[in-house]
Structure 1
Amino acid sequence: MTDGRPTEAAPIEEAEAFLADHPDISAFDLVLIDPNGIARGKIIRRHELLGLYRSGRHLPGSILGLDVTGEDVDETGLVWDDGDADRIAWPIAGSLVELPWTSPKRGEVRVSLYELDGTRMAADPRHALARQIEAFNQIGMNPVMAFELEFYLLDAERDANGRPQAARMPMTGDLVQANQVYGLDPLDRMETFIAELYAHAEVQGLPVETMISEYAAGQYELTLRHRDSGLRAADDLVMLKRLMRGLAIRHGMRANFMAKPFSGRSGSGMHLHTSLNDEAGRNLMADTDGELAPLLLNAVAGLQRSLAESMLLFAPNINSWRRFSRNSYAPTAATWGRNNRSVAIRVPAGNPDNRHIEHRTPGVDANPYLVAAGVLAGMYEGIRSKLSPDEESTSYDADSQYVLPKDWASAIERASGSAFLKDALGDKMAAVFLALRQSEYDRFLAQVTAEEFDYFCHTI
Structure 2
Amino acid sequence: MVNRENFSFSDLENWLNEQRVTEIECLVPDLTGVARGKILPRLKFTEDRGMRLPQAVVAMGVTGEFPEEGPYYDVISPTDMDMHLRPDPTTARIVPWAIDPTAQVIHDCYDKDGQLVPFAPRSVLRRVCDLYAAKGWNPVVAPELEFYLVARNTDPDMPLKPPIGRSGRAETSRQAYSIDAVNEFDPLFEDVYAYCETMGLNVDTLIHEVGAGQMEINFFHAHPLGLADEVFMFKRTVREAALRHDMYATFMAKPIAGEPGSAMHVHQSVVDKDGRNIFSNPDGTASKEFYWFIGGLQKYIPAAMALFAPYVNSYRRLVRSNAAPINIQWGTDNRTVGIRSPLASPQARRIENRVIGADANPYVALAATLACGYIGIEQQIEPTPECKGDAYLGDFQLPRSLGEALELLRHEKDLQQVLGASFVTVYSEVKEIEYAEFMKVISPWEREHLLLHV
Do the structures match in fold with TM over 0.5?
Answer: yes
Match in the other structure for 2:357: 363
Task: Note closer, same or farther for the CA distance 1:311–1:356 as it changes in structure 2 (3 Å cut).
Answer: same
- CA contact 1:154–1:253 (8 Å) conserved in 2: yes
Inter-partner Cα distance in structure 1 for 2:120 and 2:434: 19
Task: Give, in angstroms, the shift of residue 186 of structure 1.
Answer: 1.3
Task: Give, in angstroms, the shift of residue 79 of structure 1.
Answer: 9.8
Does residue 1:174 correspond to 2:172, yes or no? no
Match in the other structure for 1:58: 52
Task: Note closer, same or farther for the CA distance 1:399–1:179 as it changes in structure 2 (3 Å cut).
Answer: closer
Q: 2:11 aligns with which of 6, 11, 14?
A: 14
Letter in 1 for 2:176: V
Letter in 2 for 1:39: A
Match in the other structure for 2:187: 192
Q: 1:29 aligns with which of 2, 25, 30?
A: 25
Q: 1:133 aligns with which of 126, 129, 137?
A: 129
Inter-partner Cα distance in structure 2 for 1:407 and 1:101: 38
Inter-partner Cα distance in structure 1 for 2:391 and 2:264: 22
SS at match of 1:146: strand
Q: 1:280 aligns with which of 270, 274, 284?
A: 274
Q: 1:232 aligns with which of 226, 235, 248?
A: 226
Alignment of 1:70-149 (within 5 A): 70-75=64-69, 76-77=72-73, 81-149=77-145
Does residue 1:440 correspond to 2:434, yes or no? yes
Inter-partner Cα distance in structure 2 for 1:80 and 1:181: 46
Inter-partner Cα distance in structure 1 for 2:419 and 2:273: 25
Letter in 1 for 2:109: L
Per-residue CA shift, 1:309-362, capped at 9, x if unaligned? 111111110000000111333111111000001111110112232111110000
Task: Give, in angstroms, the shift of residue 78 of structure 1.
Answer: 8.3
SS at match of 1:289: coil
SS at match of 1:74: coil
SS at match of 2:370: helix
Does residue 1:303 correspond to 2:297, yes or no? yes
Inter-partner Cα distance in structure 2 for 1:274 and 1:80: 33
Match in the other structure for 1:387: 381
- CA contact 1:72–1:79 (8 Å) conserved in 2: no
Inter-partner Cα distance in structure 2 for 1:322 and 1:142: 34
Task: Note closer, same or farther for the CA distance 1:395–1:136 as it changes in structure 2 (3 Å cut).
Answer: same
TM-score (norm 2): 0.93
Inter-partner Cα distance in structure 2 for 1:304 and 1:371: 15
Identity within the alignment, %: 33
Task: Give, in angstroms, the shift of residue 132 of structure 1.
Answer: 1.1
Inter-partner Cα distance in structure 1 for 2:447 and 2:395: 40
SS at match of 2:90: coil
The answer to which of 260-269 and 96-105 deviates more is 96-105
Match in the other structure for 1:336: 330
Letter in 2 for 1:203: T
SS at match of 1:144: strand
Does residue 1:150 correspond to 2:143, yes or no? no
Match in the other structure for 2:201: 206
Q: CA RMSD in A?
A: 2.2
Match in the other structure for 1:260: 254
Inter-partner Cα distance in structure 2 for 1:163 and 1:139: 49
Inter-partner Cα distance in structure 2 for 1:157 and 1:447: 19
Task: Note closer, same or farther for the CA distance 1:198–1:47 as it changes in structure 2 (3 Å cut).
Answer: same
SS at match of 2:52: strand
Task: Note closer, same or farther for the CA distance 1:19–1:398 as it changes in structure 2 (3 Å cut).
Answer: closer
- CA contact 1:287–1:353 (8 Å) conserved in 2: no
Q: 1:326 aligns with which of 316, 320, 324?
A: 320
Letter in 1 for 2:110: Y
Task: Give, in angstroms, the shift of residue 10 of structure 1.
Answer: 7.2
Task: Note closer, same or farther for the CA distance 1:311–1:87 as it changes in structure 2 (3 Å cut).
Answer: same
- CA contact 2:327–2:395 (8 Å) conserved in 1: no
Task: Give, in angstroms, the shift of residue 259 of structure 1.
Answer: 0.2
SS at match of 2:406: helix
Which consecutive unaligned segments of at least 5 residues does structure 2 have? Answer: none
SS at match of 2:252: coil
Inter-partner Cα distance in structure 1 for 2:182 and 2:280: 34
Which consecutive unaligned segments of at least 5 residues does structure 1 have? Answer: 1-7
Task: Give, in angstroms, the shift of residue 286 of structure 1.
Answer: 3.1
Task: Note closer, same or farther for the CA distance 1:198–1:296 as it changes in structure 2 (3 Å cut).
Answer: same
Inter-partner Cα distance in structure 2 for 1:193 and 1:323: 26
Q: 1:163 aligns with which of 155, 159, 166?
A: 159
TM-score (norm 1): 0.92
Task: Note closer, same or farther for the CA distance 1:97–1:220 as it changes in structure 2 (3 Å cut).
Answer: same
* Aligned residue pair count: 447
